[in-house]
Amino acid sequence: MDEKIFVTKAFMPPIEEYVAEIQGLWDTHIITNMGAKHKELEKKLNEYLQVKNISLMVNGHMALELAIQAMNLSGEVITTPFTFASTTHAIVRNGLTPIFCDINPETFTIDVDKIENLITDRTSAIVPVHVYGNICDVEKIDIIARKYGLKVIYDAAHAFGEFYKGIGVGNFGDASMFSFHATKVFNTIEGGAVCFNSEEFGLDLYRLKNFGIRNPEKVDYVGSNAKMNEFQAAMGLCNLRYVDAEIAKRKKVYERYIELLEDVSGIQLMKLNPDVKYNYAYFPVVFNEEFGATRNEVFDALAKENIYSRKYFYPLTNTYDCFHGKYDVEMTPEALRISKRVLTLPMASDLEDENIVKICTIIKKVSER
């Protein structure tokens, strides 16, 4: 039986290295509550991402949910439905109303030319998403936010380690959320972080992630529990040593895909922005009508060969069963069209060339059929 090729594969350091990293925890017995590993990883990520402040979290979703809560927002938040469930759920779970903006069909990020028409006197923020590592039009979003007095919180789950015009992406907006889930370029098994500029916001965020505790005898906030533990932080410290080499390997895989697929009729590949230093986290392909077959037919053909791609993002979040009847998907036609046609192909730093060729050959055969 052929080996299974999954859409992604979690990077793990040599087991001996991880064991050495956690060995000291058996001496201290301090395995949570922002111990030494947590502090060390926070410092190193601050330097690596080149951001002013960073707060580590147990996962990316709690990072986003608490970042939104710490902004003390109300009313409506403009966002995109072309994203993972977490983005929309974090807004709704804060008692806010998501207002869905369509996407740019070339970058898959929020269409900045359609944002202003959605702003009302109830709008308090914009939550854009850096999709597949494509960076949003941060300049235009900043102009709009300043004009209307809106907060901006970026979902940067796909953009770890990326830079735009030499600036770390975590510096844009009022805050940015990163995910360190096992499927990401950089992982702490589960995990996440919020990057931010305001010290006052940082204090609110800290209290939210730690039960509202200011000191051992003062609790002045109704908080949650979203602290990253020491085992997660230790995995992050190990993986951070390899992330640049991993991204370099992923770039080669990405370029090989481009080489094999760029001339196939009906296939739309992601256009890279020369101003962005990418992490090559995903390889999305949009199958247009000229391709001669549907996205689902390609998905099935690959699955028959034990190759598991992903319909990412499908369905749109504004079509979820849990929101049935609440949102009009026709208000985001480009997002709807892309969601029905996009596949992310397997992407891993160690994806062998013969498997890349196999995947692309199957895709071409589906078209010829």
Average pLDDT over residues 288-317: 97
94 and 210 fall within a common domain:
yes
pLDDT grade for 264, boundaries at 50, 70 and 90: very high
Could you give the percent of the chain with pLDDT greater than 70? 99
Written as six digits, the tokens of 104 are: 């740019």
Average pLDDT over residues 238-261: 98
CA dist., res. 143 & res. 60, Å (int): 27
220 and 247 fall within a common domain:
no
Can you give the pLDDT at residue 138? Answer: 98
Location of structure tokens 């052929």: 2
265 and 153 fall within a common domain:
no
Domain boundary among 176, 210, 240: 240
Query: Does residue 5 form part of some domain?
Result: no
101 and 174 fall within a common domain:
yes
Query: Does residue 9 form part of some domain?
Result: no
Edge to edge, what strands does the sheet with 342-345 contain?
A: 267-269, 283-287, 342-345
Query: Does residue 308 form part of some domain?
Result: yes
Concatenating the DSSP letter of every residue in 173-226 gives SSEEEEE--TTSSS--SS-EEEEES-HHHHHHHHHHHBTTEEETTEE-S---B-
pTM for this prediction: 0.97
Query: Does residue 264 form part of some domain?
Result: yes
44 and 168 fall within a common domain:
yes
Task: Determine the 3-state secondary structure of 268 from DSSP.
Answer: strand
pLDDT grade for 369, boundaries at 50, 70 and 90: confident
Domain boundary among 206, 240, 274: 240
pLDDT greater than 90 at residue 178? yes
346 and 220 fall within a common domain:
no
Rounded to the nearest 5°, which phi and psi values hold at 179? -110, 135
Average pLDDT over residues 292-309: 98
Compute the mean pLDDT over every residue in the chain, rounded to the nearest whole number. 97
Q: Summarize pLDDT for 213-232 with one digit per residue, the tens.
A: 988 999 999 999 999 999 99
353 and 315 fall within a common domain:
yes
CA dist., res. 223 & res. 226, Å (int): 9
pLDDT greater than 90 at residue 170? yes
* Sign of the C-alpha dihedral computed for residues 50, 239, 283 and 98 taken in this order: negative
Structural domain span for residue 221: 15-240
List of residues 6+ apart from 287 with CB closer than 8 A: 266, 267, 268, 293, 294, 295, 298, 341, 342, 343
List of residues 6+ apart from 152 with CB closer than 8 A: 125, 126, 127, 128, 141, 142, 145, 172, 173, 174
User: How many domains would you assign to the chain?
Assistant: 2
